[in-house]
Each structure stands twice: as structure tokens, then as C-alpha cells.
Amino acid sequence: MSEYKLATEAIDKTVDLALEDQRLVGAVVLVAQGGEVVYRRAAGMADREAGKPMTANALFRLASVSKPIVSTAALVLMAQGHLGLEDPVTRWLPAFRPRTADGREPPMTVRHLMTHTAGLSYRFFQPEQGFYAQAGVSDGMDDDRLSLEENLRRIASAPLLAAPGTEWRYSIATDVLGAVIEQASGLPLAEAVARLVTGPLAMHDTGFTATDAQRLTVAYANRHPEPRPLQQPDHLPFIEDTAGFTLSPARALDAGAYASGGAGMVGSAEDFLRLLETLRQGGAPLLPTEWVTAMTSNQIGNLPMPFWPGRGFGLGITLLKDPQAAQTPESIGTWSMGGTYGHSWFVDPVRQLSVVAFTNTALEGMAGAFVGELCQAVYDGLGEPR
């Protein structure tokens, strides 16, 4: 039992305001405190046009919420002795040999992939006609029917942005990690993740395609005065002078789409909270505590993280180093990430908190005002130890 007592009125007000302002169409928000779910709310609409309300067991396109799930699968393989953090990527993927712009082929390890220091990038971060666009690289969220193997070939044909270990860049590295997991486990990625992570935790709603099309929410995009349904495919601007996101909502139902370890999973908020709480409480039955400690400890030293001031990076997740620089009420050591389709989550071990907010509205639910407002509401409701 937590020494804190959560008051939930501020959370309700924050969710209500985002819906009233039509910044969000629908959301599922869960808060666990001291090992108990103390707040559970499904609000708004799963399908506005059909008049279908949001439900607690709704399914969402996870985008980058896939990363901690797939990273956990890699760590389980390490704990079992089947994969090494310092293994050269070429041990498992002999053909994956990207070079720097000057033609060098610096060594790349599994650690580099998991810490996003491999020198890779994302197409959506590059200019519209950047290296990845020229190579035809998929970010794992579009409707391109290429295979994982072919996408890796295209990634490797583009120059590295930096030698591995020298810079932190959020990237498609977790897709490469997915291919490593396939080789180390001897299983297709979807089957490996099911056997190593989602199966043991009874995360039955989580996989690389929607387990129930009827529960899959409609995806929306920010627009004034109200969000618009995403088209098939669709494009969302992101940061100025970058290509932005190419999204294919139907990918969530496409069993033929390659399993993107960084962006391709579908699941429920309840399932994901189960994973977060498992890790927060030490990792059993998935991982020994020392592997959770490694995952949730800063692994990149003082390398700067663009767009994430005050944070460091562990093995697949961001970590809070300086709350003042990050302008957040979270405790030092809090781990968090988000997802393009409209998701945010964080775990504050000091306060024994796990918070999951899955929405069906991009990009408000990932990078809009709602994310900070919800975080602040949780801490406003938490108060002082009792």
C-alpha cells in the first residue's frame, strides 16, 4: 500500500476540459498507486462518427509505446543468456553494416540500438528528401508492404548520422532490435514478444495486429475546431523542416505488414499498465531486478537529448534527471515515453506511481498540452505523504 493518497478530481477536470475543448476525441486514463489501480476512466468517443463511446478495454495503435515492450523482450533474452548487450549487431544481422558519410563502418552494438545511440534516424525527423526518403525507408507506421529484412537493407544503405556511441538520436533502432530478437530467439518477432513478454503477463490484447477489430478505436488528428479522422494513408506535420509522419491507420489490421518493433504494436491501456507495474515492482516473472535497474538507469551519460531537456535514456525509455529543466513535477528517476497516435505514460518509482493515458488523437495525446496538464493533475491530487 502506498504512503500517498490520490485525489482524482483534478484528473477528471483535466480529461473533461480536453474533451470539451475538442482537443481529444476519446481517452483511457489509468493510474496505479502503491500497486493498486486507484483511477480508471474511459472518456469521450472511440468512434465519434458512429456515436461509439470509449471503453476501458479499447484497443489503440501503440506507435512508440511498442518500444518498451520490445525492449523488455530483448532484456528477457539477455537474462536468459541468449543475447548480449555488448553483442555486435553484425553477430545477429551480418548484412546490416551502415556506414558514416565518409565511408567508415564503425562497430554497432545491441546497447547502441537500445539506447538510441546507434547513429540511426527516423524518416519523419529528416528533411522531406532526406537520406531515408531517398532510400525508401519505412518508419513502421505507413502502408508500405516491404518486409523487415528489406527495410533493414534500405536503412543500412543510408549513411549513419554519427558514429555509434557519440550522439543520442531518437531513431528506428528498435526496428533493428526487433530483427536481432528474431535471430536470437529463432522466432518471428510477433511470436517472440508473445512468448517473452505479453504471454507471461497475460497481455492478451497486445500484439502486432488488433486482436478484435470491433474494439479498435478510430484514429484522429488535431484540427480546429475539432479533430478530423485520419485518412488511409495520411500525413501529419511534426517539427518544422522535417518530413513529418506518414500514418496508415489500417496497418493495425494488416497481418501482412512487417512487425515494426519501434512502432507497430496494438494494445490496451490495461495491458500496458500491467507491464509498467511489473517492471516498477522489480520485474518478476519476466526479469531479475538487476535487469530492470539497468533498463531504468541512465545509460547515455551526459549526451544531450534534443526535444527532451533534463532527461537521460535507459534501455528503451527516457529517464528524468532534472525536473526543473524538464519543467515537470515528476520525481528524479521517473521513466516515460509516448506514442505518435496520441499516448503518454510515466512511472515515478519514488511516488510508487504508474500512469497510462491512451488517446485516439494525434498529436495532442502525445505532445500537446494535455500531456503536461494530466501529469500536473496527478501530482496535484497526490499531495503529501499521509
Residues annotated catalytic, as ranges:
64
Joined together, the cell numbers standing for residue 210 give: 488488433
- HSE (side-chain half, CA atoms, 13 Å) at 232: 8
Radius of gyration for the alpha carbons in the chain, expressed in angstroms and rounded: 20
Q: Torsion over CA of 338, 340, 343 and 349, rounded to 10 degrees? A: -10
Cell matching residue 193: 514478444
How does strand 266-267 pair with strand 311-313? Answer: unpaired
Alpha helical stretches, state H, the chain: 9-20, 66-79, 89-92, 110-115, 131-135, 148-157, 173-185, 189-193, 269-280, 289-295, 323-326, 364-367, 369-382
Q: Strand 60-61 to strand 361-362: parallel, antiparallel, or no bridges (unpaired)?
A: unpaired
The whole-angstrom separation of Cα 22 and Cα 40 is 21
The C-alpha atoms of residue 278 and residue 43 are separated, in whole angstroms, by 26
